[in-house]
Amino acid sequence: MTPQELQQHVETIVVVMMENRSFDHVLGYLTSPTYGNRRDVDGIADPQDLRFLNPNSDGQGIAPFWTDDGPLTSDFPHDPSSIATQLAYADIKKTFLMNGFVTAFENAFHTSVHQPSVMGLLRPSSLPTTAALAAKYTVCDRWFACLPTSTAPNRLMSMCGYSDIRDTGTIVPNQATVYEWLLDRGISWRVYYAGLPFFTLMPKVAPLILTSHFRPLSDLSKDLAEGDHTDWPQVMFIEPDYADSPIHGRGPCDNHPPLAMAPGERFLAEVYQTLSSDRERWARTVLIVTYDEHGGCFDHVPPLPVKYRNPNGVAFETTGPRVPTLVVGPFAPAGVSHVNLDNTSILQLIAERFGRPGEMYSPEVAGRRTQHIGSVSAVLSLSAKNSKPRRLVGLRSTARDKAVATPIAPSPLRHAFERAATDLVARHKVEAFTKFPELRGYIESQTPSRRIMNTTEVPPPAPASKKLPRKKTSKKARRTVQPRRTPRRKPSR
């Protein structure tokens, strides 16, 4: 669709960004003769294809394998170093072999298993929502993670167009976000959240989260029914309940390993069914369901040679691996798109629809476009005429889905969420407890030694200790008193 067609026919752009799964892991089944038999999609026709073998530490080739959904035993390695191992660049061939996923897994966990879960490929029966939407709308089989790194840098790329950090740490830096871009242009927007929103982690955005721009997901259907067209947002972001958050609204449903996919499938179904229930608004809506990064899951397609350079020194030579992405709605043709895309393609679409004529979202996003990262508008077509919603079936909840409901393994992202939650209460206690009642119980459950200090503020000085009168002791007692030793301080890491 052209910018003119977007302006005439699209009123609302909706973005749902899940966590840490690869294209082959979720949508690779589409090519299989057993499950999808679609020759138009670049997926996994035969897991035993020698091209897909990943050697383990014993030199044995491990093939991808079909599996059913369920809680996993652990998260997968997806830091920059591990991803470099997974991509397995061959200097002689000048290409990525994509056969280091098992090696990265074994390096992280110091173990060797017959079928490491990083090589698992989900059957469509485990994906009732995703499979149904993939059959009706547009599958993007050339949609890549922006950077070959972890969650926080990729979410910054997705929502800012650039990242000041190379890897996920305990702090997300203040950056110019799409929220400010929309506010500056008078474009209405809203975030519906199932749990604590991700950008609670960014200090300057945290106060904005306490406004009516951010609303619980339970308000979506009410707002749809009660609001008029003038009140309906032009851009909408719908966030799952993140597994790494210390509090939960509906329970983790972001699909981040080791969670099962089932809670995320029900979350996506709720979003889709609610939005498509209003036929008039749905007829002018574009819904994009994507992931921030691959999360360490196997994918066979090499990344794109799209360079990223930040003046502060953060640099990458390629995109990350592919992520499963669906473009959904009346303007999304049933089929597949082979256009090279990543999450900055969404920012391109927003600028084309709501920016000034000819305006790019930002110089950074324009730079990716010159490196052949296209816009979502290249996927959309007026001739799609795909307005009738798809009926979803097969959604169910089992105790097995919730077996790993709240992973307790420490991680930088988990520490970042904990810090952000504590800081939000420290700065805006009444408003934070009102907006997120679960925060009260979390804060009260933390002992002083476990509470995370707000590093953006200087801690108050310790009160001066009072000098107590010295007790009189006999000469004999004084001789037996041992001098107090000052412990040596260990160097910080």
* Band of residue 491 on the pLDDT scale cut at 50, 70, 90: very low
Q: Where is average pLDDT lowest: 126-140, 141-155, 447-461?
A: 447-461
Cβ neighbours of residue 235 closer than 8 Å, sequence gap 6 or more? 12, 13, 14, 15, 178, 182, 187, 188, 189, 190, 350, 354
- The pLDDT of residue 397: 55
- The pLDDT of residue 480: 42
How far apart (Å, rounded) are the C-alpha atoms in residues 376 and 342? 9
* Band of residue 409 on the pLDDT scale cut at 50, 70, 90: low
* Band of residue 489 on the pLDDT scale cut at 50, 70, 90: very low
Query: Quick one: average pLDDT of 410-439?
Result: 93
Whether the per-residue pLDDT at 29 is higher than 90: the answer is yes
In the CATH scheme, what architecture does the domain 3-23+125-386+393-402 have? 3-Layer(aba) Sandwich (3.40)
Token representation of residue 289: 């369901």
Query: Quick one: average pLDDT of 27-31?
Result: 98
Whether the per-residue pLDDT at 441 is higher than 70: the answer is yes
pLDDT tens, residue by residue, 180-233: 999 999 999 999 999 999 999 999 998 899 999 999 999 999 999 887 667 899
How far apart (Å, rounded) are the C-alpha atoms in residues 258 and 235? 31
* Band of residue 324 on the pLDDT scale cut at 50, 70, 90: very high
pLDDT tens, residue by residue, 382-394: 999 999 999 888 6
Whether the per-residue pLDDT at 315 is higher than 90: the answer is yes
How far apart (Å, rounded) are the C-alpha atoms in residues 241 and 265? 12
- The pLDDT of residue 473: 45
- The pLDDT of residue 359: 95
Cβ neighbours of residue 242 closer than 8 Å, sequence gap 6 or more? 19, 195, 196, 198, 252, 254, 256, 417
- The pLDDT of residue 447: 58
How far apart (Å, rounded) are the C-alpha atoms in residues 217 and 238? 8
Q: Which long-range contacts link 157-160 to residues 24+ away (Cβ below 8 Å)?
A: 157/342, 157/343, 157/344, 158/17, 158/292, 158/343, 158/344, 158/346, 158/347, 159/199
Helix axis angle, 344-354 relative to 151-160, nearest 10°? 10
Whether the per-residue pLDDT at 481 is higher than 70: the answer is no
How far apart (Å, rounded) are the C-alpha atoms in residues 37 and 16? 27
- The pLDDT of residue 493: 40
Q: Would you kindly state where each structural domain of the chain is located, as residue ranges?
A: 3-23+125-386+393-402
Q: Count H helices, E strands: the chain?
A: 17, 18
C-alpha separations of 225 from 9, 220, 239, 280 in Å: 22, 9, 20, 12
Token representation of residue 20: 């840490």
In sequence order, what are the beta bridge partners of 237? 15, 191
How far apart (Å, rounded) are the C-alpha atoms in residues 422 and 443? 7
Whether the per-residue pLDDT at 370 is higher than 80: the answer is yes
pLDDT tens, residue by residue, 76-110: 999 999 999 999 999 999 999 999 999 999 999 98
Query: Quick one: average pLDDT of 275-293?
Result: 97
- The pLDDT of residue 446: 82
Token representation of residue 334: 């049933």
Whether the per-residue pLDDT at 479 is higher than 80: the answer is no
pLDDT tens, residue by residue, 235-279: 999 999 999 999 998 899 999 999 999 999 999 999 999 999 999
Whether the per-residue pLDDT at 454 is higher than 50: the answer is no
Q: How does the average pLDDT of the chain come out, rounded? A: 89
Comparing C-alpha atoms, which of 486, 133, 154, 75 is closest to residue 314? 154
More confident of the two residues 382 and 484: 382
Per cent of the chain over pLDDT 90 is 80
Query: Quick one: average pLDDT of 306-312?
Result: 96
